[in-house]
Each structure stands twice: as structure tokens, then as C-alpha cells.
Amino acid sequence: MTVPLTPVPLIDPFARAIRYLRVSVTDRCDFRCTYCMAEHMTFLPKADLLTLEELDRLCSAFVRMGVEKLRITGGEPLVRRGILTFFEAMARHLQTGALKELTLTTNGSQLARFAQPLADLGVRRINVSLDTLDPAKFAAITRWGRLPQVLDGIAAAQAAGLRVKINAVALKGFNEEEQFTLTDWCAREGHDLTWIEVMPMGDLGEEDRLHQYWPLSDLRRRYAERFTLTDLDERTGGPARYVRLEETGQKIGFITPLTHNFCESCNRVRLTCTGELYMCLGQEDMADLRAPLRAGPEDAALERAIRAAIARKPKGHDFDYSRAAIRGQMSRHMSHTGG
Ligand code: SAM
Ligand code: SF4
């Protein structure tokens, strides 16, 4: 018997409506950023990955259940073979109006090729991760990346009419002296800029993490020494808080999962490329959606599994750098859950 599909929105136990799904379409990447991956990563066996058709079915179920914003991430989403087919499939939800926004987070390496097709499919804004404008430092932090390729990609995105937000991970002893260089460059190029506090994801060694940690309160203080800051109320459904630099009119975002509690307004969940649904970036609990997905062609069991998972969404996470050891450290890498 086919159970009728009900468009009852997904509401978690803390009355938060789940409207935002981040989907990691691959754990693979053409870079090896030092804070994200080990140089010699062991990736998941290909057979474990959801096919693009399965990802389509899963994401479509979420859209039917009220998800309005889909962010495609990874790993590097644009290295997944056939990825445009998946964007095409999601674009049909933009056309019906069920999906309000289809976007992606990318390292920019493949944008020269993909920017125009993505724009043609209805992508309007993208996040590009870029921690430094110094070619040698860029090569060092990404290990395998080359800055000119990413800058070309960003230029292609602009030419295609995509709005670009730059995400920079704040790393002590690495890009501290570039705070204003990056800020000025973004102002000139017309990009928004968001700083991300480094998170204890993946097993890269505690020493490294504590060493890399540069609290965003410090960046904010430095901005305040140079500019008049106005806190903006605006929330994008994400964990970023924004300020405006009054002298330039620029908007700067801060993602501070460690020093600031953003969980109370969390409207998002994360799906991995193997079909695991993480209800919170900072908790180990997850639900396997691959089994109900593969159990049969009907979506009723899948929808039940999604609702059961949302009913377990925790109030918040538990990262804490203030202890000698890192409490709440997550064993999985960002590239697995999708940043
Ligand atoms: N490959 C794409 C990229 O780099 O934009 C998408 C995936 S990446 C995991 C998503 C975001 O997570 C990037 O902005 C990256 O800088 C960030 N990230 C990775 N590891 C991180 C960590 N340990 N702490 C904070 N941000 C991290
Ligand atoms: Fe790849 Fe993005 Fe991780 Fe860098 S941050 S290694 S680009 S997934």
C-alpha cells in the first residue's frame, strides 16, 4: 500500500523547523588542507557512496518535507563525477518553488569549468573557501592547491553572475597578518567575507588544533580598532553572525562554533555521501538513511526514518577549547560530514 506523502514540516523537539539541508556528495577532494585532512587520507570505498540517483531521491524527500535550502558540499563537490546531473535534478525543485535556494561550498578549483552551467541551473550564490592570497602560503595550507587556479575560478563565477562569499578559516600564525589584506581584497572584488573558527574535526592531533586556534573575538577586536562596527541582526539560517564595517559598508561574518553558542536557532541537518544524517555537527549521533532508501522504491520508510531522526536532534553541541584537552572533539573529518 502506498502511504500518502504528507507535507508536514520537520519540527525537532525544541520547536525548530528544519529548513536547511547540507549534503556532502563526496568525501574526496583535490586539495589536502592541513586543518581538514591528513595528506594521505583513506577515503571511503566507492561502493559505500550513494549514487547520484539515490542522493536525488533523498534530497527530494527532504524538500517534500519542508527543506527550502540545499547546500552542496563535500569533500570537494565539484570533483564528484557527473555532479551537474545532480544539480540538474535539484534545479527542478527550484522551478516548482519548493526549494528557495540551491547553493554550494567549494574550494574553487573547478569553478572555471562549472560556474556558468551552475548559474544556468539556478545557482545564485556560492561560498568559496580561501584562507590566504599569498600563492606560497596557499600551496602550503592546501598542500595540493594552486592559488591562480582558484582565482580564475572565482573570476569565472563573477562573470557568470554568481555572488561569491569567501570563507576563510582563521589560523593562528598563518593568516593573522592577512586579516586586512583579505578584507580589502574582498571589498574591491565585491565579495562578502566570513571568518570561520577552526574546529576540532578529525584526528589531526590535539597539539595542532590548540596551536592553530585563533579566536574570532580577537579578529573582531582588531576590526574594531580600525572601523566602526555595527552588529547586524540578519541571520541566514546558518551559524554566522554579521557586522558591518561602517567606513566601507562591508559585511563581515563570523562563524564561532566554539566561543559562541549558535545552536538555539539551528535549522539545519547534514547528510553525508553514504546516507548518514547528522542532526548536529558537534555530536556523534546519526541516523542511517541508506538502509531505508535501499529497502525499496517507496519513500514511506525513508520518510519515517527522517522524522525519527529529527525527533532526536539534540539541543546543541559541546566543543570546548578552554580545557587542557579538547573536550567534545569529533573523530570524523569535516570532509565527511560536509563543512
Ligand atoms: N571543499 C569545499 C571547500 O573547501 O569549501 C567544501 C568542503 S570543506 C570541508 C567546507 C568548509 O569547511 C571550508 O570552508 C573549510 O575551510 C572548512 N573546514 C574544513 N576543516 C575545518 C576545520 N577543522 N575547522 C573549521 N573549518 C573547517
Ligand atoms: Fe578539500 Fe575543502 Fe577539506 Fe580543503 S577544506 S581539504 S578543499 S574538503
Residue 16's pLDDT band, with cuts at 50, 70 and 90, is: confident
Mutate to test the pocket of ligand 1, among 105, 198, 206 (most ligand atoms within 8 A of CB): 105
Q: Is 73 in the pocket of ligand 1 (CB under 6 A)?
A: yes
Lowest mean per-residue pLDDT among 173-177, 253-257, 290-294: 253-257
Residue 139, class by beta-carbon neighbours within 10 Å (0-12 exposed, 13-18 middle, 19+ buried)? middle
Q: Is 27 in the pocket of ligand 1 (CB under 6 A)?
A: no
- 300 CA distance to ligand 1 middle (Å): 34
Smallest CA separation from ligand 1 atom 17, residue = 339
Ligand nearest to the CA of 199: 1
218-245 per-position pLDDT tens digit: 999 999 999 999 999 876 556 778 999 9
Residue 124's pLDDT band, with cuts at 50, 70 and 90, is: very high
- 42 CA distance to ligand 2 middle (Å): 14
Res 339 pLDDT > 60: no
- C-alpha torsion 89→53→84→118, nearest 10: 40
Whether the CB-CB separation of 108 and 166 falls below 8 Å is answered with no
Per domain, the residue ranges of the chain are: 20-337
Across the range 34-41, mean pLDDT stands at 90
Cα separation, 164 vs 226, whole angstroms: 25
157-203 per-position pLDDT tens digit: 999 999 999 999 999 999 999 999 999 999 999 999 999 998 865 55
Residue 280's pLDDT band, with cuts at 50, 70 and 90, is: confident
DSSP H helices in the chain: 52-64, 83-96, 111-120, 135-142, 147-159, 179-189, 206-212, 216-226, 290-294, 300-310, 334-337
Of the chain, the end-to-end C-alpha distance in Å amounts to 39
Q: Which residues lie closer than 8 Å to 336 by C-beta, 6 or more apart?
A: 24, 27, 272
Q: When comparing pLDDT for 90 and 16, which is higher?
A: 90
pTM (2 d.p.): 0.91
pLDDT score at 283: 73
- 149 CA distance to ligand 2 middle (Å): 15
Q: Is 36 in the pocket of ligand 2 (CB under 6 A)?
A: yes
Cα separation, 171 vs 184, whole angstroms: 18
Q: Is 29 in the pocket of ligand 2 (CB under 6 A)?
A: yes
Ligand nearest to the CA of 39: 2
Across the range 279-289, mean pLDDT stands at 84
Atom of ligand 1 at shortest range from CA of 73: 6
Cα separation, 74 vs 81, whole angstroms: 13
Q: DSSP state, 178?
A: G
pLDDT score at 8: 75
Nearest to 262 by CA among 304, 317, 207: 317
Res 103 pLDDT > 80: yes
Across the range 79-92, mean pLDDT stands at 98
CATH of domain 20-337: 3.20.20.70
Mutate to test the pocket of ligand 2, among 26, 32, 33 (most ligand atoms within 8 A of CB): 33
Q: Is 75 in the pocket of ligand 2 (CB under 6 A)?
A: yes
pLDDT score at 33: 95
Residue 268's pLDDT band, with cuts at 50, 70 and 90, is: confident
323-334 per-position pLDDT tens digit: 333 444 555 556
pLDDT score at 27: 96
Across the range 68-86, mean pLDDT stands at 97
Strands 192-197 and 250-255 turn out to be parallel
- Per cent of the chain over pLDDT 90 is 71
For the sheet with 276-278, list strands across it.
229-232, 240-245, 250-255, 192-197, 163-170, 125-129, 101-106, 69-73, 20-24, 268-271, 276-278, 286-288
pLDDT score at 91: 98
Across the range 90-105, mean pLDDT stands at 98
Mutate to test the pocket of ligand 2, among 23, 31, 138, 212 (most ligand atoms within 8 A of CB): 31
Mutate to test the pocket of ligand 2, among 76, 106, 334 (most ligand atoms within 8 A of CB): 76
Q: Identify the residue whose cell numbers are 549514487.
A: 51
Cα separation, 39 vs 12, whole angstroms: 38
Q: What is the DSSP string of 146-169?
A: -HHHHHHHHHHHHHTT-EEEEEEE
> Hey, how many other C-beta atoms are within 10 angstroms of the C-beta on 161?
12
Q: Identify the residue whose cell numbers are 570533483.
A: 79
Q: Is 70 in the pocket of ligand 2 (CB under 6 A)?
A: no
pLDDT score at 107: 98
Ligand nearest to the CA of 30: 2
